[in-house]
Chains A and B, each alone.
Chain A
Amino acid sequence: MDDKKRILIVDDDDQISKMYTTLLNIKGFTTERVNNGEDAIAATLEFKPDLILLDIMMPEISGFDVADILHNTEKTKDIPIIVLTALGGKEYRDKATAAGVAYYFVKSEVDLDLIAEKIQELLKSS
C-alpha cells in the first residue's frame, strides 16, 4: 500500500478535472476522477480517498447532494471535502457548510497554490 494520499476529483468538466489531476499528481498525490455524482459516491466507497475535491454544478445529482450523502454515511463522513465551484454566494456556502464541507472555493478567484496548500493542510491533520 503506497503512502501517497489519495484524492478523488469530482467535476463534470473534463478539462478541469484533468488539470487538477495533473496538478495533484505533480504534487505527489494519487488521484481518481469522476464526472458525476453517482459515480462520485461509488468511487468514494471503492477508492477510499483521503480527500475529495467536489464540483457543485453537475447534472442530475448536484455536488451538494453528494456532500450531504457522504456526510451522513458512517463510512464516509470523516473524509474532508473541498468544494470547488463557479457558484459564489452566501446561500451556497451555508448549504455547503451544512453538508459538512471543509472548504469552499470559488473557482475563478482561487489560486491553485492556495488550493494545494489547503489540501496539504487538511491531509496533514487527518
Chain B
Amino acid sequence: MLMFLSVLISIISAGIVLAGLMALLRGPKRAQNRWFFIFTIFLAVWIVSNFLDSNFVNSTTDILLKIDFSSILFTAWALLQFTLVFLIRNADKKRLIHTPTFTITSFLLNVMFSLLIFLNLVVTGDISTGKLIVDYMSLSWAYIFVFLAYFVIVFIILTLKSRRSKGLEKSAVKIIYIGLLIALLTNIFTNLIFPELFSVRSTVKELNIIGYGGLLFMTLMIYIAITTQKLFDIRIVIARSVGYVLSFAVIVVIYVTPTILISTHLLNYRLSVAKILYLVAVTCIVAILFQPLRSFFNKLTNKVFYRNYYEIQDVIDKLGNLLVGSVDPEEIKHKTLELLTGVLKPSYAKYLLLVNAREGDEQIIHGLSMTNKELIDTDELSSSASRHLYEAMVSNNIALALRLRTKHDVLGYIIFGYQKSGSSYSDVDKRLLSIAAAEIAISLQNALRFEEIQRFNVTLQAKVDEATKELKKTNEKLRAIDETKDDFISLASHQLRTPLSIIKGYVNMVIHGDAGKINEQQKDFLELAMLSSENMVSLVTELLNISRITSGKFSLDVGPVNLADVVDAEVKKLANMADSRKVALTFHKPHDFPTLLLDEEKIRQVIANFIDNAIYYSKHKNAKIDVQLTSEDDDIVFKVIDNGIGVPLQERDHLFTKFYRAKNAKFVRPNGTGVGLYLAKVVINEEGGNLIFESKEGEGSTFGFKFNKNKIIQNTNKAQ
C-alpha cells in the first residue's frame, strides 16, 4: 500500500535529515559536518522526489522528475565535497582538487546541468500511459558521466585514504566505506537486478524501499564516522549489526510467518508485500524499543515499591571514592558510617575496632569472632552455642555485625542497629555490606598503619632530638675536659719547669762564683747537678710534646733557625757529659750555613736527643762521636755518628715507636723513657724532613735527618 510506503519514506528521509542536523549541531564549525548536512538535505530531497515521481503520476511529475535528476547530481557533489573535507585533514597536504576554486567550479557545473535538465535536454518524462516512462535525451550521457565521476572520485579517495590512514581515522574511513557499499549494493539490486527478476512492476517499486533503506544506513554510518571521537573496532560494529539483524530476522520470521499463514489461510486476507514489510518494520522497532522501555519501567516500579531503593553499584562506587580520598582512620570511619547509614537507615551504626576497644567492646568482639562469620544477623543466631552472644547482641541492640577483615587480621566489626523502619535487612543490603566490608577493611588497616607510622615518626624524631641534645651535652663536656686536660698539661709542665729553672738558676750562680769561690770538685758536682736538672727539663718537655701529639694539639712554631748555632750550642752543653764518660765528641761548625725555617725548640730537642743517645750508648773503649752538619746540593744533612752498641736487626722496626726500648739499650741505660726517638721521628716528619738511621749491632749507629733546601728562606734581612 502506498500509504505505508509513504510513511516509510517519510521516516527514512526524516532520519537522514535528522542525522545531518545532529551532526551540524554537534559541530557547527567543522566543515565536514556542514557538508554532511548539505549532503543529507539533497539526499532527502532526492529520495522524496524519486519516490513521488515513480508512484504519483500527475501534473507535477515532470517537475519532480527534473528535481529528481538534479538533486541526485547535487547529492553526489555534496558527498564528494564532504569526502574531500573529511579526509584531507592536514592543511598542508591539500590535494590539488580541494580548493575553493574546485568547489565553485563543480557547483557551477551542477547548476549548468540542472538548467540543461530543466530545458529537457537530459531527460524527459512521458506520463501519457499513466505511468512514468523516462526518455534519455542527447546530453544524458554527459550527465551520467559527471554523476558517475563524482562517485568514482569519492571511491578513489576513500580507497587511497584507507591505505594511508591510521587509528581513528582509519576506522572512520572503513565505516563510511561500508556504508557506501551497502547503499550501492542495495540500490543496484533494487534498480537493476530486481526489475530483471520480477515482472510485477508494483512489487519492484515497493522493493525500492530497500534501496532507500540502504541509503539511510549509509547516512547513519557516515554520521557515526564523523561524530565518534574514540577508536572502535569495525569488527564490533559488524558483529553487533549482524547480531541485531539476525535477532530481528528471527523475531520477524517467528512473528511474521504465522501472521501471514493465519491471515491467508484462516482469515483469507491477502497480505501484500508492502504490508509484510510494514509488519517487519514495526516488529523491528518494537524489538529495539523493548530493552530501554523495560529498564525505564523497572526503575519506576523500584522507586514505587522499594522506598529505600538504591543501586548497589552506585553505593560501591561512592564508597570507593571516599576510601581513596582519605588516610585518616577517623575520617574513614565517619564517612563510611555516614554513607552506610544514609543507604541502610539503621537506628545506629558504629565501629568496634580491636585497636581502641573499650572493656565491654572487647568481649563482644571476641564473641562475634568466635562465630567466624562475615556477617552476623542477630535474628539468625539460633544455635544454643551462641546463646551468650545472642543475649549480648540483644542487650546492646545490635541487629547486624559486619566483620572487617584483611588477609591476616580481623580489625573489628561494624555493628548496626535495627532499621528505623523496623524491618530487617534485605538480601540486597547484606550483599552490599559484604562487598563494602572488604574494601573498608583494607582502607582502614592502611589508614591505621599510616597513623602508627606517623606516631612512630614523631617519637623517633623526639628521640633523635633528645639523643642529639645528649650528644651535644656530652660533646661539650668532653671539650671542657679536653681543655682542662690541656690546661692541666700546660699547667703541670709549667709548674714542673719553674722549680727546675730555679735550681738551674742558683746552681749556675754558684758555679760562676757569684756566691763565693768554689773549688774544682764543687764545680764538678754542681755541674753534674745542673746536667740532671737540664735532663729533667728535657723530659718534661718531651712528655708535654707527647701529650700534645696524642691529643692532636701538636703544632709547629716555625721561625728562622740557624742550625749551625743550635747544633753548636747543644754540643757545647753536652761536652762535659761526654767528657765525664770519656767519649770524644767532635763537631766542625760549618761557615755560612744557610738559615732555615724550622721550629727551633723542637729541632733542638731532636739534636740534643741524638747526641745524648750517642753518648749514653757508647762502648767503653775508644768511644767517638762525630756530629756533622753539611749543606749538600739539594739538602741539609745532620748526622750523629757513633761507634757504640748499635741497634740489633730485629729491633730496628720498633725503634722509633712510642716507649720502645731496645734490649741492649735497656741494659746500658735502665732509666730511659723510650720516648726520645719517637718524638724525634714525629718532629722530623712534621717539619718536612727525612729521618736518617743506619746501624750495625756492636759497631755503631748513625742517627740524623735531612731537609730539602726549599726550607731555606731567601733573604735574611732581619737584623737578628
Chain A residues within 8 Å of B, Cβ to Cβ: 13, 15-16, 19-20, 22-23, 26-27, 57, 86, 88-90, 93, 106-109, 111-113
Contact = CB atoms under 8 A, between A and B. Distances in A.
Contacts of A107: 497-498, 501
B505 A26 contact: no
Contact of B601 (A19, A26, A106): A106
Contact of B557 (A20, A86, A88, A112): A88
B256 interface: no
Contact of A108 (B497, B506, B508, B514): B497
Given A57-B494, A88-B557, A108-B541, A26 B502 contact: no
B553 to A, nearest CB: 11
A13 B504 CA distance: 16
Given A106-B601, A108-B500, A86 B494 contact: yes
18 contacts: A13-B498, A23-B505, A23-B509, A23-B514, A26-B514, A26-B515, A86-B497, A88-B601, A89-B557, A90-B557, A93-B557, A108-B500, A108-B501, A109-B604, A111-B508, A112-B505, A112-B508, A113-B508
Contacts of A23: 505, 509, 514
Given A26-B509, A26-B514, A106-B601, A19 B502 contact: yes
Nearest to A27: B514
A123 B408 CA distance: 99
A22 to B, nearest CB: 7
Contacts of B558: 90
Nearest to B496: A108
A42 to B, nearest CB: 25
Contacts of B559: 90, 93
Nearest to A15: B502
Given A86-B498, A107-B497, A20 B514 contact: no
Interface of B: 493-494, 497-502, 504-506, 508-509, 512, 514-515, 537, 540-541, 557-559, 601, 604
A13 B491 CA distance: 14
A23 B512 CA distance: 11
Instruction: Describe B's contact surface by its main secondary structure.
Output: helix
Contacts of B494: 57, 86
Give the 7 A-B residue pairs with the shortest CB-CB distance, closest first: A26-B514, A108-B497, A86-B494, A19-B505, A90-B557, A112-B508, A108-B537
Contacts of B509: 22-23, 26, 112
A89 B537 CA distance: 17
Contact of A15 (B493, B499, B514): B499
A60 B709 CA distance: 46
Contacts of B604: 109
A54 to B, nearest CB: 16
Contacts of A109: 537, 601, 604
Contacts of B508: 111-113
Contacts of B515: 26
Most chain B Cβ neighbours within 10 Å, of A13, A107, A113: A107
Nearest to A22: B509
Contacts of B514: 22-23, 26-27
Nearest to B499: A15
A111 B502 CA distance: 11
B504 A112 contact: yes
A111 B537 CA distance: 12
Contacts of A13: 498
A16 B499 CA distance: 8
A112 B507 CA distance: 10
B166 to A, nearest CB: 83
A94 B44 CA distance: 113
B557 A16 contact: no
Contacts of A15: 498-499, 502
Contacts of B502: 15-16, 19
